[in-house]
Chain A
């Protein structure tokens, strides 16, 4: 809804005379330069700053004395003009004051803008803007307590972000206190995105303001602004990480894909033949070495798939068995491969060790169906080794599953990386940039 379309109410005839007499907008002349000033704060304002001469006038003083004068060389132009009205979070507010504040951190000045908003029923609110990032703020009535760099409020834990000394460098419009040029206070920010808690401390008092990150587009629409929206620079202290909102739906999707991968693998597991197509025991003897063995032919059936050759050898006592093998089809295609089985053991410095084993498994992918035989050339240092060869057709492979899983993990890793980069950028502006 358009915030500027609120129907104007008729002035009440029964209202007390002092109230009925106050028109919608009052004007007065600046005590400093005579420039006409518009009063918008409906009796609440204690001071008003003239944008022509920088004088701040005490509205509670009948002679409208000048409290202080801002000698700013730069005239800041509020992005939302004074007098502008907009509906934020359901309530209509009018911009009545604008101030520019600055902090100096390690010799560098950082400045931001604060807009004082007013609604006669709801009171004051603030809009703050820094590097194109906006917050909608309200002073809390609660007395909040710090506990080890954290503040608990509204069932949320706010983490300390930074503590700085802020000074007022420029003002225009009305304020509910007597604003002074250069007045300072200690500002301590605590965050729980999209919320921020700001503690402002002066010698006289401590106040807490809670703010919520607000999209500039929302404000531009609420205040009916046609000016370009300043681009957002960097990451704001309490800006919600775009990766955080993504991640919950993302992890759900990841979960589904993971389950799909498991399901596909299980389906392949049960649908695959895993059929033993050849099984034979051999004996290697040193005297028969360099003699090649050619097995009986066996049938490999079904669609083109893998063939797994499992070998077990015994006895191997600090010895080895090398098998030069070839799976040969009747039409002459040969798949050559060499396998070695070895087992060594011993004792070193009082502790036993062993290396190798007695079994081996070789996978030949993409073997079309047909009639095959194995050609085996065994070699060994041992005088005699028994070995057992089994050939299986179409064995499900875990490697595909792990490959799929690995591919699935890439997007989460990118997300985690981006998210941590975002958090790093957020905390880089804080007092904790070294530790986060």
Chain B
């Protein structure tokens, strides 16, 4: 499923490792390339990401529930509380997933199709119960996050500096869900919080002094 193309801007090789990826950022010239059926569209330079001290990086490998994954992309978001990364994971079984990460908090999630009707963003408030796949979740945070930019490859196109209205939901135990209203209908992601150790990460970014 791996597909290699040349960056229309600088000619450097750009790899789409996942068949699900529609966007890739050229790692040399930061051109944002969107894959259409046959051609590749350059939608402009991707914004510089902010230094956030994350120990993760593109090509970091890990394992979740027995399946190995590779980090192939990333979206960096700014919430009121600080920066938050959504790392795009490509699992060995070709499944796409997300590893949300900030300041030592790690959360694995997958896009989900739910039979229930998702409330509109304007209707959301903290403490509200939302049922997803017959499981009751509670809204813990409703916020208009700001997307700073991305790197690597992503399963949907993003432009720099778009706003991402989103809601965080807490489920039973370590489970959580995210409702992403940057598309209509809203995208649903369901997952769980995990401990750093449980991800068996390798190829981490070296951090000075640690």
A contacts, CB < 8 Å to B? 6, 8-12, 15-16, 18-19, 22-25, 41-44, 46, 92, 119-124, 141-143, 176-177, 205
Give the complex CA separation of A22 and B209 in angstroms.
Answer: 11
Interface membership of B17, Cβ < 8 A = no
Q: How far is the CB of A61 from chain B (nearest CB, A)?
A: 14
- Which of B4-12, B64-72, B155-163, B199-207 contacts the other chain? B199-207
Partner of A141, one of B49, B193, B207: B193
A24, B105: Cβ atoms closer than 8 Å: no
- Chain A residues lying within 8 Å of B107, measured Cβ to Cβ, are 141
- Chain A residues lying within 8 Å of B176, measured Cβ to Cβ, are 141
Q: How far is the CB of B206 from chain A (nearest CB, A)?
A: 4
Interface centre among A41, A119, A143 (most CB of B within 10 A): A143
Q: How far is the CB of B90 from chain A (nearest CB, A)?
A: 20
- Chain B residues lying within 8 Å of A92, measured Cβ to Cβ, are 210
Interface centre among B81, B105, B206 (most CB of A within 10 A): B206
A124, B206: Cβ atoms closer than 8 Å: no
- Chain A residues lying within 8 Å of B53, measured Cβ to Cβ, are 19, 22, 41-44, 120
B210, A11: Cβ atoms closer than 8 Å: no
From residue 37 to 51 of chain B, which have CB atoms closer than 8 A to chain A? 48-51
Interface membership of B28, Cβ < 8 A = no
Q: Interface digits, B137-168 against A, CB 8 Å rule (1 contact, 0 not)? A: 01011000000000000000000000000000
A16, B105: Cβ atoms closer than 8 Å: no
B52, A44: Cβ atoms closer than 8 Å: yes
Interface size class of B (residues with CB under 8 A): 20 to 34
A22, B104: Cβ atoms closer than 8 Å: no
Q: Please name 30 pairs of A and B residues whose Cβ atoms are closer than 8 Å in the assembled complex, sorted by A.
A: A6-B210, A9-B206, A9-B210, A12-B206, A15-B57, A16-B49, A18-B48, A19-B51, A19-B205, A19-B207, A22-B51, A22-B53, A43-B53, A44-B53, A44-B82, A44-B103, A46-B82, A120-B55, A120-B104, A120-B210, A121-B196, A121-B207, A124-B103, A124-B104, A141-B105, A141-B174, A141-B176, A141-B193, A142-B193, A176-B103
Partner of B81, one of A8, A18, A19, A177: A177
Give the complex CA separation of A44 and B205 in angstroms.
Answer: 15
Give the complex CA separation of A141 and B170 in angstroms.
Answer: 9
- Chain A residues lying within 8 Å of B81, measured Cβ to Cβ, are 177
Query: Nearest 10 CB-CB pairs, A to B?
Result: A123-B104, A143-B170, A43-B53, A12-B206, A24-B209, A42-B53, A141-B193, A18-B51, A24-B208, A123-B103
Interface membership of B115, Cβ < 8 A = no
User: Looking across the interface, which residue of chain A has its beta carbon closest to that of B203?
Assistant: A14
Give the complex CA separation of A8 and B209 in angstroms.
Answer: 5
Give the complex CA separation of A253 and B50 in angstroms.
Answer: 64
Partner of B51, one of A6, A9, A10, A43: A43
A205, B141: Cβ atoms closer than 8 Å: yes
